[in-house]
Amino acid sequence: MGGIRHAGLMRGVIEWGERHQVALYLAAMAAGVAVGLLLPGAGAGVEPAILPVLALLMYVTFLGVPFASLGLAARDGRFLATVLALNFLAVPAVVFGLSRFVASDQALLLGVLLVLLTPCVDYVIAFTGLAGGRGIGCLRRRRC
């Protein structure tokens, strides 16, 4: 019985976290800014916590990705052709045009290229679900 109750509690915590995820992120950022401004020397002490906290935040975000339904999207040839054309033809062309504004600064150019060229479909699915859309619809031809 305790396991069932625990699973229900965890499901409730996850659902609550998903509903309030944006507010939780904003609160965490505000807390980070407050600590940074009020205790400037605290950075060295909390720095080791950055990667584990980011990993936890990413894990919670990815809980909303319907991995069991990925096979449905993989069987849709037209959808896959569209995604491949966009990811490997259209997006690089647009990114090349946008990156010309920062091409003179190599570090900034690298950052822009990494952010704009790294596909992040999992975030699109998770954030579509958070916004009340159909996250699984992003994996098929249907609208998000």
DSSP string covering the chain: -HHHHHHHHHHHHHHHHHHTHHHHHHHHHHHHHHHHHH-GGGHHHHGGGHHHHHHHHHHHHHTTS-GGGHHHHHT-HHHHHHHHHIIIIIHHHHHHHHHGGGTT-HHHHHHHHHHHHS--HHHHHHHHHHTTS-GGGGGSSS--
- pLDDT for 119 beyond 70: no
Of 21-25, 49-53, 93-97, 121-125, highest mean pLDDT: 93-97
What is the structure's pLDDT at 22?
Answer: 83
Average pLDDT, the chain: 78
Give 49-106 pLDDT, tens digit per residue. Answer: 888 988 887 787 777 666 777 677 677 788 778 878 888 899 899 999 999 999 999 9
Q: What is the pLDDT of residue 20?
A: 84
